[in-house]
Structure 1
Amino acid sequence: TKTAWIRLSRARIDRARARCRDAVRAAERLDRREAGRALEARLRALADEHGFAPGRLSVRKQGTIWGSASRSGRIQLNALLAVVPRDLADYVILHELVHTRIRGHGRAFWSELERRMPDARRRQARIRDYSLALF
């Protein structure tokens, strides 16, 4: 029933918020400019390490996504990435960097991402808790 589904969904969100309690608290005090500086530094470090040349970076609080990349290489990152564990922020950043070369989420995309970050799928699963807790 719908009521049961709603109860289960609320319970999942409550469990995610409990697991991500520190990030939820940090998000309440987040300074977007500070977050932007920190995320830009990680973007540049990962781009250099993996041989990417991204275009302009935009950091802002986004409603339901962690990041996006345009065909021109412009990358948008959610400021909330500054409050999640660094390995998960790195996953999102590298995910978007790979998108500057490979559009979509097909086999070629995942192969390239996993070549650069072998545990990408595990990180993808872990960041879902933060999505539930923060969005």
Structure 2
Amino acid sequence: MIKKLEPNQKVLMHPEVGKVILKKNPRSKRVTLKVKVDGSIIVTLPQSLPYKKAEPILHQNIAWVKVQLKKVKESQKKKLLSFDSRFQVRTKVLRILPHDQTTMVAKGREDKIDLLVPKTWKIASSEVQEQLQEAMIEILRQEAKYYLPNRTRTLATQKGIAINTIRIKNVKTRWGSCSSKSNINLSLYLMLLPDSLIDYVILHELAHIKHQNHSAAFWSHLENLLPGAKQLDKKLNGYRIPFL
């Protein structure tokens, strides 16, 4: 059954996968089917195509949809933070631990950062998970501000590269970027990487000061700055932010 949702959208309740959102898009030239990271299923249709045309497309691809939904559930389980969660933040271990107090607090030592959470809290609840993620991000931000600008300036000086400003950002989709004005932006999530890959990302962005692209000349320049850069780039592609 197809139910109205809002202009250019309707909902189809499928007996096997549940709610499916149907969308009309004037720019679409064909029907597309997508399962998003939050588990929502979306079928996008050209503006002129009737909504009923989405049903056979969904039926033909229902096995694929089920596989994607299973992957989403597995991914969500992996990302759930708990009192057993441990993360390496360069030379420190970030731990989530229960304590007897009524508020959440972070305590840092030379080799550890403990995020202490009231043991009475329901740690698997969405509200607590959201607070934990916000606290984790703030911890990474502080660690990144302490380490990344100094490391970037050190590497830039060693390689004879002039830079402008260095900014630390909460960016999940890229590890770093470089503007045409030689401003370097670095993701705070770099702190979850090994030092060799942190240096790779920094030097990658420093190389963009000379080449604002990924041409052969860029890779040759980066290889001169950091031998083995291509191998490090492949290694970097295997890393994901573990709690987002």
- Coarse TM-score class (shorter-chain normalised): 0.7 to 0.9
SS in 1 for 2:167: strand
Q: Which moved more, 1:26-35 or 1:38-47?
A: 26-35
Amino acid at match of 1:104: N
Task: Give 1:87 deviation, angstroms.
Answer: 0.5
Higher strand share: 2
Aligned to 2:231: 122
Aligned to 2:154: 45
Amino acid at match of 1:98: A
> 2:203, 2:222 within 8 Å by CA — same for their partners in 1?
yes
Residue number among 87, 95, 108 corresponding to 1:22 in the alignment: 87
Give the CA RMSD over aligned residues. Answer: 2.7
2: CA distance, partners of 1:125 / 1:10: 27
Deviations 1:46-80 (A, max 9, x none): 10111111110100220211000000000100011
SS in 1 for 2:177: strand
Task: Give 1:117 deviation, angstroms.
Answer: 1.0
1: CA distance, partners of 2:226 / 2:73: 32
1: CA distance, partners of 2:73 / 2:236: 18
- Where structure 2 has 5 or more consecutive residues not aligned to the other structure, the ranges are 1-63, 79-85, 95-132
2: CA distance, partners of 1:9 / 1:112: 39
1: CA distance, partners of 2:241 / 2:169: 18
Task: Give 1:123 deviation, angstroms.
Answer: 1.0
> 2:178, 2:184 within 8 Å by CA — same for their partners in 1?
yes
- Where structure 1 has 5 or more consecutive residues not aligned to the other structure, the ranges are 15-20
SS in 2 for 1:22: strand
1: CA distance, partners of 2:70 / 2:237: 19
Relative to 1, partners in 2 of residues 1:113 and 1:43: Cα closer, same or farther, differing over 3 Å?
same
Task: Give 1:23 deviation, angstroms.
Answer: 3.8
SS in 2 for 1:38: helix
TM-score, normalised to structure 1's length?
Answer: 0.79
Amino acid at match of 1:79: L
After TM superposition, the runs of 4+ consecutive aligned structure 1 residues lying more than 3 A away are 1-12, 21-29, 132-135
TM-score, normalised to structure 2's length?
Answer: 0.46
Percent of residue pairs identical: 32
Higher helix share: 1
